[in-house]
């Protein structure tokens, strides 16, 4: 039967003719026309429960803009209308062609979507409306379940219709939906068509089950298909969503023995040749699926990138009948959120979990995947037995060794009141402050996976659309659409809308999965679009230093940043105990186990890091605690979350935890070692949950990486004990029973043998077995958490061949937790070449420079290649951030390194062109020179002082004006007399000129006039060295008299100077009076009446001769009594004046 829907008067007339034909047939007359056509009035067909919901006047938008058409409100993308605004009993389900990889074919064309009759789901939706209704509920609330169920049903039925199932099977599924499962005849299943049954079963298993009727329908659909037990194991879905397996060798044959059709792809050759990137590999794998092959089996991959793993998992999610099997892939170093998407039922056991002794590290199975080597640790960092006996003494000792100079973060951890975690325990208030504020914003929200970031953004959606009138658009940064389409194009299409009311809000999830190229493209697009019409929220699980740099460059005050009213924020958060309790209460978890679950999450976070916990673990932990003996389950759970730790560590942690919550721990070792002690220390913070985890502790104290792994654990323990002022935990027993550790990133790998009597300065550490000549491989290894032997890399590669790719080297440094270990192994000349703009763009050079200044060693042999000095100079010239002289002082590491840097820059800095506000940077360099000349922490000799203001720096020397001299006087008076430190002078506004007293010392110490000096300074030098003329002296006196005057005198002279004029400085007096020619009358009067001190070397006759004209005027005016001179030569001058005047 063809259903035809009338929407014109002509068709209504045709319907009347057909009715007449039917009446004539009933009367025995032959009908004029015979057709198998059934007509419906669109509105009279049936009253569907969701029709009014889609056409409600509130929250809808007109079908056409006013003046271009008409229409009632429409708030559903699934509704189907006529041009006469009539409701048709159809749903339209659009297909995302890019996401589903749908392509045009000559036989089938291009599938854009499906039209589904409303009768298919009418009874299911009516049942949902009745089950959702209740006393006191409003009509809108009754339809909420209808709306949710309909969305799920339409998405599911689209999967069914686009699947390779036969038409008869699809028809049967539609009929089952229409009759809510009350279908007597099931489709016939042939015994040898296992693959077809698997496809049908997988699709039926995905049927929504929001209501009892839909749950019954799902049961009817799934029970129809017979799946052998041996096949069922291969079609399980992780979390009922993902069909991605990690399997051991031999699984392929077992699958084929079950009759499954499996496509095989071996990448062994491509991996060896490195001839395939992630995009090509992903497209190659999914190309092996066909209509009747729903299993793809991959061999030859020892490891897999996180982005490919995420793409494959998401591909199986949107194609629920397809499965991917990865043979012998090591996922130990993949992100935990990606491992959670994999099924490990057939996975090979982790060889690392079988390691118990140091000899096991050399076994071929272990050495092939995790090679190791021995490393020498400084003996000075190993605590003595007496130190361990007294935790307070141990805290002071380790604090003095690990606190890094110039690093506030590391010093705060060993302060009497130590710093807490830098990650916020609750991000919701700050995020809502940004989003509901008046100013547009970009917010980067970062936390370990499972902290509820995406969930909270979804919960905020209703408020944002209602209160803020936001037009919200979402995009997944890990989407495989990026394989074929540019990110900027996708973002532009994502935020494109016809709505002109309110702001657009772009929510980009999985930001951390974007490549660096995509991140740069994203921020370029945001910089152009961010403003009053667009806000952006980026959600990430982890970031690096380059992401911090991108945010800083986007700040409104930065050059090329966002518009001034835009706010740029970074929210780094974590999963806290308070948040966990709220979620468990809302989910209805058993109150009996809530405290125990929270204690596990707090202890695991503090010891193994933020990525070891997740809100998804709450239900799993509660289920494990219900068991009579939960020990083995909890050990397996911890090893899955943190696969890089040993089984000994997991067993001791679980043993300590079960003892803490009062449960039996059969078969587990007693928790008397360092790990058990760490757990007891972690429980000091179980209620507040605010201190640094062991992983964050290491990030904030890089020097701790130089110590033995066991010493690091002790350092974290005393940090926690000091934070809670609890010193009653016995560390000596745990230290005496400590086991040997294999060093690695984050928590070390614990062996099963004790090391109390072993040599404390040497220990094993895991290394990396990749190609050290490939920077890209090194970056990938560091991001995955591999421990790389950097001395071996230096010996094999960097000592022979210089690093040339500054982009990849910057990624390597920003991804490493301890960049200092890398910088120690790179030749100084190589680092300097990477910093020069001839090899590296300015932004990248600045990024490298900041890392070098923070982590590179201070000592460096050689006079020319000094990476720290060149890094400081690079930041001064090219950093676009606003800098002050205090920033330059701290970047250098103090006054002594700053002096070394300035002296180096005077002679060896070849780059003199600034790319960031040259005038401001010139003033900043002058302030740095002034600062180092005025401080007294590092005394400067006169040759050093003159070196700083001559040569290439000569042009920077300027004489201050009178106002600057007064500012210097006030600054020196306010400064404490005991010490004039560099930090003190750098506070507040620092003049960019020296005070005249220090300025004259430079003129006195320079042997010859500098051509780069300004003309007035050259004139001052000639006056001071008695090489000037009276004409030059008089010109300078008329232009800047304060340069020749002395304003640093006692209080009596100062008050006299303010009334009569300041005296001429004695350093210039000899050069003035011996200059050839006649001095200006005003200068002669200043010499006579200013009270200038006359040194012994100034001839009295020369002084009187230079002032002869002024003396005659004063004698004629009767003002000789106003002559005031001082100093050792004053008496001789006065006597000569009296003799001359009497004559």
CB atoms within 10 A of CB 267: 18
CB 962 within 8 A of CB 1042: yes
For residues 963 and 860, the model is more confident at 963
Average pLDDT over all residues of the chain: 85
Q: How confident is the model at residue 1127 (pLDDT cuts 50, 70, 90)?
A: confident
Q: Residue holding tokens 């009892």?
A: 212
Q: Are 316 and 243 in contact (CB under 8 A)?
A: yes
Backbone angles phi, psi at 394, to 5 degrees: -65, -40
Q: What is the mean pLDDT of residues 899-916?
A: 88
Contact between residue 243 and residue 237 where contact means Cβ atoms under 8 Å apart = yes
Q: What percent of the chain has pLDDT over 70?
A: 90
What integer pLDDT is reported at residue 79 of this predicted model? 86
Q: What pLDDT was estimated at residue 870? A: 93
Nearest partner of 116 among 95, 142, 89, judged by Cα: 89
Which has more pLDDT, 754 or 270? Answer: 270
Q: Is the pLDDT of residue 20 over 50?
A: no
Query: Are 222 and 235 within 8 A, CB to CB?
Result: no
Provide mean pLDDT across the span 338-344: 94
Confidence of residue 31 (pLDDT cuts 50, 70, 90): very low
pLDDT at 38 over 60: no
Measured in degrees and rounded to the nearest 5, phi and psi for residue 1076 equal -80, 135
Identify the top-confidence range among 303-317, 391-405, 803-817, 1126-1140: 303-317
In contact, 960 and 993? CB cutoff 8 Å: yes
Better-predicted residue by pLDDT, 1068 or 29: 1068
Tell me the percentage of the chain whose pLDDT exceeds 90.
Answer: 46
Query: What pTM did the predictor assign?
Result: 0.78
Confidence of residue 767 (pLDDT cuts 50, 70, 90): confident
Query: Distance (Å, rounded) from C-alpha 1065 to C-alpha 1015?
Result: 20
Q: Which pLDDT value is given to residue 471? A: 85
pLDDT at res. 140:
60
Give per-residue pLDDT as tens, 682-721: 999 999 999 999 999 998 888 888 899 999 999 999 999 9
Query: How far does Cα 124 stand from its chain's mean position?
Result: 46
Check residue 503 and give its pLDDT. Answer: 83
Q: Which own/partner contact pairs does 981-988 have at CB distance under 8 Å and 24+ positions apart?
A: 981/895, 981/935, 981/936, 981/937, 982/889, 982/894, 982/895, 982/898, 982/931, 982/932, 982/935, 982/937, 983/886, 983/889, 984/935, 985/931, 985/934, 985/935, 986/884, 986/885, 986/886, 986/889, 986/931, 987/886
pLDDT value at residue 295? 97
Q: Which pLDDT band, with edges at 50, 70 and 90, does 971 fall under?
A: confident
Q: What is the mean pLDDT of residues 163-190?
A: 88
Q: Is 760 exposed, middle or buried (0-12, 13-18, 19+ CB in 10 A)?
A: middle
Least confident among 539-553, 792-806, 888-902: 539-553
pLDDT (0 to 100) of residue 35 = 37
Q: In degrees to the nearest 10, what's the CA dihedral of 523, 529, 530, 535?
A: -100
Q: Cα–Cα distances in Å, from 260 out to 160, 242, 1140?
A: 21, 19, 126
Confidence check: pLDDT of 974 > 80: no
Pick the most confident of 88-97, 244-253, 364-373, 1007-1016: 244-253
Distances (CA, A) of 988 to 47, 459, 519, 830, 961: 76, 46, 38, 38, 19
Considering only CA atoms, which of 181, 203, 74, 67 is closest in space to residue 121?
181
**pLDDT, position 12:** 38
Confidence of residue 28 (pLDDT cuts 50, 70, 90): very low
pLDDT, tens digit, 9 for 90 and up, residues 67-110:
555 667 777 888 888 877 788 899 999 998 888 888 888 887 88
Q: pLDDT grade, residue 655 (50/70/90)?
A: very high
* DSSP-derived secondary structure for 237-267: -BTTTB-EEEE-TTHHHHHHHTT--EEEEE-
Bridge partners (DSSP) of residue 424 are 573
pLDDT of residue 409: 56
Alpha-helical (H) ranges within 319-402 are 336-339, 364-369, 385-389, 391-402
């Amino acid at each position: 039967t063809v259903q035809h829907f009338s929407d014109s008067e002509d068709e209504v007339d045709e319907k009347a003719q057909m009715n007449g034909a039917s009446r004539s047939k009933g009367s025995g007359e032959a009908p004029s026309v015979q057709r198998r056509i059934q007509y419906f009035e669109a509105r009279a067909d049936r009253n569907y429960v969701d029709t009014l919901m889609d056409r409600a006047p509130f929250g809808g938008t007109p079908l056409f803009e006013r003046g271009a058409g008409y229409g009632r409100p429409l708030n559903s993308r699934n509704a189907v209308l006529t041009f006469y605004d009539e409701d048709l009993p159809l749903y339209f389900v659009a297909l995302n062609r890019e996401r589903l990889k749908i392509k045009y074919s000559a036989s089938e064309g291009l599938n854009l979507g499906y039209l589904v009759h409303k009768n298919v789901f009418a009874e299911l939706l009516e049942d949902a409306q009745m089950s959702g209704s209740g006393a006191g509920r409003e009509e809108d609330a009754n339809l909420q379940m209808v709306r949710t169920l309909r969305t799920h049903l339409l998405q599911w039925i689209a999967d069914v219709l686009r699947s390779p199932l036969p038409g008869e099977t699809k028809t049967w599924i539609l009929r089952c939906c229409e009759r809510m499962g009350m279908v007597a005849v099931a489709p016939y299943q042939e015994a040898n068509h296992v693959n077809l049954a698997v496809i049908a079963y997988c699709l039926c298993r995905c049927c929504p089950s929001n209501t009892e009727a839909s749950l019954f329908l799902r049961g009817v659909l799934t029970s129809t298909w017979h799946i052998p037990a041996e096949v069922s194991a291969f079609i399980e879905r992780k979390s009922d969503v993902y069909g991605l397996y990690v399997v051991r060798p031999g699984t392929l044959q077992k699958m084929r023995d079950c009759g499954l059709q499996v496509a095989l792809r071996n990448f062994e050759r491509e991996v060896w040749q490195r001839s395939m990137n992630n995009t090509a590999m992903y497209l190659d794998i999914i190309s092996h699926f066909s209509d009747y092959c729903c299993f793809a089996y991959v061999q030859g991959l020892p490891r897999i990138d996180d982005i490919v793993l995420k793409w494959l998992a998401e591909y199986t999610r949107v194609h629920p009948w397809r499965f991917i099997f990865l043979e012998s892939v090591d996922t130990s170093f993949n992100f935990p959120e990606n491992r959670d998407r994999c099924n490990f039922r057939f996975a090979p056991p982790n060889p690392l979990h079988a390691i118990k002794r140091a000899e096991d590290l050399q076994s071929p199975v272990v050495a092939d995947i995790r090679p190791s080597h021995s490393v020498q640790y400084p003996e000075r960092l190993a605590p003595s037995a007496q130190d361990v006996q007294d935790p307070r003494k141990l805290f002071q000792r380790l604090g003095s060794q690990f606190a890094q100079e110039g690093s506030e973060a590391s010093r705060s951890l060993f302060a009497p009141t130590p710093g807490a975690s830098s990650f916020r325990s609750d991000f919701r208030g700050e995020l809502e402050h940004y989003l509901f504020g008046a100013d547009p914003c970009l917010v980067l929200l970062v936390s370990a996976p499972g902290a509820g970031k995406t969930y909270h953004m979804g919960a905020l959606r209703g408020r944002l659309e209602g209160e803020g009138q936001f037009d919200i658009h979402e995009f997944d940064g890990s989407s495989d659409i990026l394989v074929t389409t540019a990110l900027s194009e996708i973002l532009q299409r994502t935020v494109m809308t016809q709505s002109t009311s309110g702001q657009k809000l772009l929510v980009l999830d999985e930001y951390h999965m974007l490549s660096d190229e995509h991140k740069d493209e994203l921020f370029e697009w945001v910089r152009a679009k961010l403003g009053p019409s667009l806000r952006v929220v980026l959600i990430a699980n982890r970031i690096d230093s380059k992401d911090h740099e991108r945010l800083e460059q986007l700040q409104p005050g930065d050059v090329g940043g966002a518009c001034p009213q835009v706010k740029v924020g970074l929210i780094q958060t974590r999963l806290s105990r308070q948040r966990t309790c709220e979620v468990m209460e809302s989910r209805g978890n058993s109150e009996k186990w809530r405290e125990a679950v929270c204690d596990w999450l707090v202890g695991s976070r503090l010891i193994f890091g933020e990525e070891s916990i997740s809100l998804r673990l709450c239900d799993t932990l509660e289920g494990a605690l219900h068991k009579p003996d939960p020990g083995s389950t909890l050990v397996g759970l911890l090893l899955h979350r943190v696969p890089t730790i040993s089984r000994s560590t997991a067993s001791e942690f679980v043993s300590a935890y079960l003892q803490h919550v009062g449960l039996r721990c059969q078969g587990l070792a007693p928790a008397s070692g360092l790990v058990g002690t760490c757990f007891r220390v972690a429980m000091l913070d179980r209620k507040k949950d605010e201190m640094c985890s062991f992983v964050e502790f290491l990030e904030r104290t890089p020097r701790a990486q130089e110590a033995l792994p066991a010493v690091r654990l002790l350092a974290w323990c005393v940090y926690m004990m000091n934070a809670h002022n609890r010193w009653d935990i016995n560390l000596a027993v745990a230290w005496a029973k400590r086991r040997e550790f294999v060093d690695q990133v984050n928590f070390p790998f614990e062996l099963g043998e004790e090391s109390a009597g072993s040599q404390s300065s040497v220990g094993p550490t895991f290394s990396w077995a990749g190609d050290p000549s490939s920077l890209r491989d090194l970056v990938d290894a560091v991001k995955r958490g591999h421990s790389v032997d950097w001395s071996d890399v230096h010996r094999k590669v960097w000592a022979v061949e210089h690093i040339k790719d500054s982009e990849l080297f910057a990624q390597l440094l920003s991804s490493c937790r301890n960049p200092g270990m890398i910088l120690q192994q790179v030749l100084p000349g190589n680092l300097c070449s990477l910093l020069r703009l001839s090899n590296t763009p300015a932004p990248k050079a600045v990024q490298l420079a900041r890392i070098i200044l923070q982590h590179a060693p201070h000592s460096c042999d050689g006079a020319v290649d000094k990476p720290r000095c060149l890094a400081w100079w690079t930041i001064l010239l090219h950093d676009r951030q606003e800098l002050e002289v205090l920033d330059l002082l701290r970047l250098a590491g103090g006054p002594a390194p700053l002096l070394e840097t300035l002296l180096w820059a005077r002679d060896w800095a070849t780059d003199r062109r600034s790319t960031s506000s040259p005038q401001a940077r010139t003033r900043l360099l002058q302030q740095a020179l002034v600062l180092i000349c005025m401080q007294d922490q590092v005394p400067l000799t006169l040759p050093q002082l003159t070196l700083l203001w001559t040569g290439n720096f000569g042009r920077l020397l300027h004489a201050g004006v009178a106002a600057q001299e007064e500012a210097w006087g006030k600054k020196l008076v306010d400064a404490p007399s005991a010490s004039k430190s560099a930090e003190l002078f750098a506070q507040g506004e620092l003049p960019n000129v020296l005070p005249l007293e220090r300025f004259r010392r430079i003129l006195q110490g320079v042997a010859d006039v500098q051509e780069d000096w300004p003309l007035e300074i050259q004139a001052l030098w000639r006056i001071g060295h008695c090489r000037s003329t009276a004409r030059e002296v008089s010109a300078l006196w008329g232009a800047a008299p304060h340069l020749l005057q002395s304003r640093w005198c006692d209080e009596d002279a100062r008050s006299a100077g303010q009334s009569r004029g300041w005296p001429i400085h004695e350093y210039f007096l000899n050069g003035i009076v011996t200059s050839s020619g006649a001095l200006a009358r005003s200068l002669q009067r200043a010499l006579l009446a200013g009270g200038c001190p006359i040194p012994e070397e100034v001839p009295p006759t020369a002084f009187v001769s230079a002032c002869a004209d002024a003396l005659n005027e004063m004698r004629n005016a009767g003002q000789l009594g106003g002559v005031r001179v001082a100093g050792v030569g004053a008496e001789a001058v006065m006597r000569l004046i009296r003799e001359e005047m009497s004559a």
